[in-house]
Amino acid sequence: MNKFLKKLINYKWASVFLILAISFAFFMIMKKNTRMETDLDKYMPEQHPAFVYSNKAEEWFNIKDGIIIAIENRNGIYNTGTFKKIKDITKALQKMKEIEKDDVTSLYTADNIIGTEEGMDVKPFFKKLPKDEESLKKIQQNVRNNEMIFERLVSADEKVTVIIAEIGDDTFSQEFYHRILKMAREFEGPEKLYVAGRPIVEGTMAYLGPRDMKRMVPIVILVIVMVLLLLLKSFKAMIFTMLVVLFSTVWTFGLMATLKIPIYAVSTMIPVMLIAIGVADGIHLYSHLHLYMKEHPLASKKEAISDMIHGMWKPVVMTSITTAVGFISLITSQVYPIKYFGLFTAFGVLIAMVFSLVLIPAGLMLLGIPNWKKKSKNESTDTKKRFSFRFSQWIIKYKYLTIILTIVIIAVSLLGIGKVWINSSFLEKFEKDSDIVITDQFINKHFGGTSSLNVILDSKKHDAFKNPDILNLMDKMQNDVEKLKIVGNSFSLADYLKRMNKVMHADKEKYNTIPDSKNLNAQYLLLYEMSGDPENLWKVVNYNYQKANLLIQLKSDNSKAINSAIDIIKKYIPEFKKLDVSINYAGSGYKGLVFTDLILEGQILSLVLSLFIVVILLSIMFKKISIGFIASIPIIITAIISFGIMGLLNIPLSTTTALLSSIAIGIGIDYAVHFIERYKIYAGETGDKIKTSELTMLHSGRAIVFNALVIIAGFLVLLFSVFPPNRALGALVSLNMFTSFVGTISIMYLILYRSNIYFKKEKKGGLK
């Protein structure tokens, strides 16, 4: 490898041209094929049993996610102008090719089940626009008397009404998203319109994600450029270090586009990752070159570059491989965004390594070695006065204090780990004061909730859901679930039968119950099928009454909310089992919950796997199993501290923060590798522990500090992201880099120093 890299110096022009040509090709493919994935269902593994069942249930009951348009008139909705707006918006939605006509529900399309002299009838609340006070009063009274509509389509204060347009998974697009928002703006005044629902969350995320990336990348580039200029003190060194990360980013996204892998919300952080991580190799290469030129001021350009390659190719390759392993371990996750994030970030890290070992030496040969200022005569050459060396001596002197502090920090962190929770919410990825969150809160305040959980009840018996015992148990479960503050409403076949029974008894409230007779239930349902729109009925029960769909509306889409409802439902499983009815779950809310479980499983598996592989790799690289374990100590401590802080600060695991452990291991291990490699070299050269510590801190300690500063600065840029989880990740990764750095030059160095691992006598008598 060393000889091959040195030979490339002679082909500097060819190397640069080849990299430029392939980069241009990838850039053109990227412009043509790159697309943002807007369907959150596509984030999930389709073959997972929970998703397979949910998809079947969605077909049985035509379960779709809905766009919710709330119309607010602070003077009350019962006026001709507002009703005209309800009718016009409903018709406009029905005409859109993405929406089926029957999938739009509003006061204009909703069924009103009423009793008649002949029995029961189903009529719309209005077809012709009500223009007089009497007509409006009649509609108002009909809405108030209908429990299936009041507080579901019309708010309790009668100042807000909603229109719900359900859409299929594959019909949503950015163009459709903007068309919906444009339509809402056009219909505003004097009424205020609010647009919410899962598809709108998806659309907003897809819209803001690329914009966030475009905003973040220039900021991180500017920050890294400034830090590199400050640390490397060379414009030429900065340029080639930045070219490495820019080319690696283009190659990464170019490869994604070539393989037609979409960009997920979390993928937008890849450029920030690669820019922050990719400069590390350049820093170590230039740091080594800088020290060499100070010690050999008369060395030729080729000699200096050859020494840089000879001394640094091995640790650069080792750190890049271990970093890539940290990210590649994420492919164990069943969550597609995390899996692809890990895979392509690993590719970016490895290609950045190649560019560092090819492009930087080629650039040095073409443009020359940076003109670093020589050390002045007044500058002390006593390395013991250097802060890093004094720090290492302090660690040795106060070793017990170092160990005690480490144990205390770990103990506190372990307490925090027990409080870590997983958040399935997509809405909580946005700022609390953002328009989409405020809109969601407004609708949740006035109605049942913008999030939902579908409970699927299944029986093998024909007409099972005409059985009063089953229906009453279903109704009892609904009432129990609705006691939760987070649950706004629920809806099922039981609500239909209660309404039918009431209107058939002159709207007397005491008959707002489920009939005790299976035959009577069957008669009511037959009457509805004959007089109403049976398509609405098939959303809560299938045609042979063996399967039923109970919809629970929630005011939050996070896992705590959904789990609280499921916990109550689970209590009813034994009772339903006695009636030969099983319970399952479906819909986007439940799939989001399963999604969080998969995140946790993947997080644990990737953490264990990456740690195991890193220990094995380092054991092989350094030819000692003990070194593999010693090197892993800083990243293990870092991971514990990181998750402990998440628990103590109530920062949940999400698709974004789930990346934390792999980033911590992948990047944090670099410091240990560089430190141990240089410690090993100086131990062999000097045979003296004090001198070895002095030289290691001077060489690798300096480069590690530079590396940590650049990566911390790069990830702190995420604090400017519009997405709170991204900001949390930026802060946590920056903290991780600091703790990994401190752990490397303190507790790992102390163990390395005290173990005498490179100062034991060999059988042949020499020092290892």
Supply the pLDDT for residue 477. Answer: 96
Tell me whether residue 686 is in a domain: yes
Shared domain check, 257 and 157: no
Question: d(Cα 8, Cα 2) in Å, to the nearest integer?
Answer: 10
Tell me whether residue 383 is in a domain: no
Shared domain check, 274 and 169: no
Tokens of 509: 């409230």
Residues 469-504 pLDDT 10s: 999 999 999 999 999 999 989 999 999 999 999 989
Supply the pLDDT for residue 13. Answer: 63
Tell me whether residue 382 is in a domain: no
The distance between the two most distant Cα atoms of the chain, rounded to a whole number of Å, is: 111
Tell me whether residue 422 is in a domain: no
- pLDDT tier, 712 (very low <50, low <70, confident <90, very high otherwise): confident
- The residue from 537, 563, 587 where one domain ends is 587
Question: d(Cα 95, Cα 88) in Å, to the nearest integer?
Answer: 11
What is the tally of structural domains in the chain?
A: 4
- Structural domain including 728 reads 388-417+624-768
- The CATH number for 360's domain is 1.20.1640.10
pLDDT, greater one: 246 or 421: 246
Does the pLDDT value for residue 534 go beyond 50?
A: yes
Tell me whether residue 406 is in a domain: yes
Distances from the Cα of 174 to the Cαs of 177, 179, 268, 431, 594, in angstroms?
Answer: 5, 9, 17, 21, 27
Q: Measuring CA to CA, which residue among 697, 657, 703 is closest to residue 679?
A: 697
Does the pLDDT value for residue 252 go beyond 60?
A: yes
Shared domain check, 221 and 363: yes
Q: Which of 503-507, 522-526, 609-613 has the lowest mean pLDDT?
A: 609-613
Tell me whether residue 52 is in a domain: no
This prediction's pTM:
0.76
Supply the pLDDT for residue 383. Answer: 45
Collapsing DSSP to helix, strand or coil, 547 comes out as strand
- The residue from 587, 611, 639 where one domain ends is 587
Average pLDDT, the chain: 84
Tokens of 594: 């399963």
H or E element in which residue 739 lies: helix 724-743
Shared domain check, 187 and 65: yes
Shared domain check, 400 and 269: no
Residue 759 has what DSSP assignment?
Answer: S
Tell me whether residue 592 is in a domain: no
- The residue from 203, 235, 252 where one domain ends is 203
Tell me whether residue 615 is in a domain: no
Shared domain check, 236 and 196: no
Question: d(Cα 109, Cα 290) in Å, to the nearest integer?
Answer: 76
Shared domain check, 221 and 199: no
Shared domain check, 300 and 166: no
Shared domain check, 681 and 546: no
Residue 374 has what DSSP assignment?
Answer: P
pLDDT, greater one: 277 or 378: 277
Shared domain check, 323 and 281: yes
Does the pLDDT value for residue 596 go beyond 70?
A: yes
Shared domain check, 325 and 252: yes
Shared domain check, 336 and 290: yes
